[in-house]
């Protein structure tokens, strides 16, 4: 296996890790208006389930983008210029979400907290949808000219396949988040999360199944990726049964398997392209014509081989430390500043 193939796989792993880990963070934020509507304490329980890990989960996106920039600079340049508007909207939504989570408890005022809750919700729903739209269009292909520039606009990305991709990621992340919330909470929050996961699983199966099947049949699916199409289907069907039985631990395992399988189908369908051109296949970006030099890839490989195990061990340790369930009784009274003091 050459270095180009190795780095294509590694970037796929990084984005898959981001979707698995940040996916349930998005899901918890998406479900806050529904599951947290009864009291502020319930909303704080929901935030505390992701509180110790959400910012670490975002590192996967940063590393994935950095790896793309260093290993495949032409892919990075074409993607970030051609998808400028959706990626900018995702960035703004993520910043809004970060600020809302960090500053929600700084001021002891119900109106302030409601505004932050809106920020968390918007900052979760928007990326959950637009990441699906973006990845669907990367696999489908966009008009790219001989100068490696995308010649279409934002609204061309909102084609039926792209929209289905956005609906799929929104539903799957919401389901993933509900299952994670059931796994990490206790009492009434867990009970409601289990019920929510059970009914979210019903639309998620046909929508996600349809998207993965469409990808396989119409957008470059390989013979070997049928294995992962079947694995994704089995995992989603298992989630339906497990959420109905309130087996959230195994349900979380299978939502994770479904996301990983779907990402393997997407990246497997894409390979060896990194951005197919619908203008002319000769203008498509591949792992060969979009990559950095051999020396650059070699240095990056040594750095990744040294740092990746350290990062994985640290993040695994974080999840182990904060593994216990959270109950409403564990939430202390709010200690934020009064609104008047905060304004001063």
Q: How far apart are CA 172 and CA 170, in angstroms?
A: 6
Question: Domain spanning 10-297+308-325: which CATH class is it, in words?
Answer: mainly alpha
**pLDDT at position 111 over 60:** yes
Q: Is 241 exposed, middle or buried (0-12, 13-18, 19+ CB in 10 A)?
A: middle
- CA-wise closest residue to 26 among 304, 259, 296: 259
pLDDT for 133 equals 96
Beta strands in the chain (DSSP E): 107-108, 273-275, 285-286, 337-338
> What would the mean pLDDT of 1-14 be, rounded to a whole number?
92
Ramachandran area for residue 148 (φ above 0: left; ψ -120 to 50: alpha; else beta):
left
- Per the DSSP assignment, residues forming a β-bridge with 285 are 275
- What φ, ψ does residue 284 adopt, rounded to 5°? -65, 145
The fraction of the chain above a pLDDT of 70, given in percent, is 96
pLDDT for 263 equals 95
Is 128:26 a contact under the CB 8 Å cutoff? yes
Is 71:5 a contact under the CB 8 Å cutoff? no
How sure is the predictor about 344, in pLDDT bands with cuts at 50, 70 and 90?
A: very low
**pLDDT at position 27 over 80:** yes
**pLDDT at position 337 over 60:** no
pLDDT for 154 equals 85
User: pTM for this structure?
Assistant: 0.92
Q: Is 63 exposed, middle or buried (0-12, 13-18, 19+ CB in 10 A)?
A: buried
**Would the CA dihedral through 269, 270, 271, 272 be positive or negative?**
positive
- What φ, ψ does residue 219 adopt, rounded to 5°? -130, 50
- CA-wise closest residue to 74 among 4, 17, 2: 4
Q: How far apart are CA 64 and CA 10, in angstroms?
A: 8
Give the mean pLDDT of the chain: 90
The CA-based angle 13-319-97, given to 5 degrees, is 75
Q: How far apart are CA 182 and CA 200, in angstroms?
A: 13
């Amino acid at each position: 296996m050459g270095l180009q193939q190795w780095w294509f796989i590694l970037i796929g792993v990084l984005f898959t890790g981001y979707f698995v880990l940040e996916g349930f963070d998005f899901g918890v934020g998406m479900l806050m208006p529904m599951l947290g509507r009864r009291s502020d304490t319930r909303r704080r329980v929901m935030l505390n389930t992701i509180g110790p890990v959400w910012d670490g989960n975002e590192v996967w996106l940063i590393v994935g983008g950095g790896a793309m920039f260093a290993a495949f600079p032409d892919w990075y340049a074409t993607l970030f210029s051609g998808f400028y508007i959706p990626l900018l909207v995702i960035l703004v939504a993520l910043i809004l979400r970060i600020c809302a989570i960090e500053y929600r408890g700084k001021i002891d005022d119900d109106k302030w907290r409601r505004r932050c809750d809106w920020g968390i919700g918007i900052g979760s729903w928007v990326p959950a949808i637009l990441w699906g739209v973006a990845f669907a269009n990367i696999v489908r292909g966009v008009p790219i000219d001989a100068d490696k520039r995308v010649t279409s606009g934002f609204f061309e990305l909102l084609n039926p396949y792209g929209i289905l991709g956005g609906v799929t990621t929104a539903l799957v992340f919401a389901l993933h988040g509900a299952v994670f919330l059931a796994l990490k909470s206790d009492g009434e929050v867990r009970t409601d999360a289990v019920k929510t996961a059970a009914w979210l699983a019903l639309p998620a199966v046909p929508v996600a199944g349809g998207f993965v099947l469409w990808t396989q049949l119409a957008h470059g699916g390989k013979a070997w990726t049928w294995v992962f199409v079947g694995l994704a289907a089995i995992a989603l069907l298992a989630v339906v049964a497990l959420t109905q039985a309130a087996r959230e631990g195994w349900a979380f395992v299978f939502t994770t398997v479904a996301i990983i399988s779907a990402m393997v189908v997407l990246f497997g369908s894409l390979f060896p392209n990194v951005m197919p051109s619908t203008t002319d296949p000769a203008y498509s970006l591949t792992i060969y014509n979009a990559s950095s030099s051999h020396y650059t890839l070699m240095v990056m490989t040594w750095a990744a081989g040294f740092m990746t195990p350290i990062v994985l061990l640290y993040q695994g340790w974080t999840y182990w430390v904060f593994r216990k369930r959270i109950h409403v009784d564990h939430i202390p009274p709010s200690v934020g500043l009064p609104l008047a003091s905060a304004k001063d």
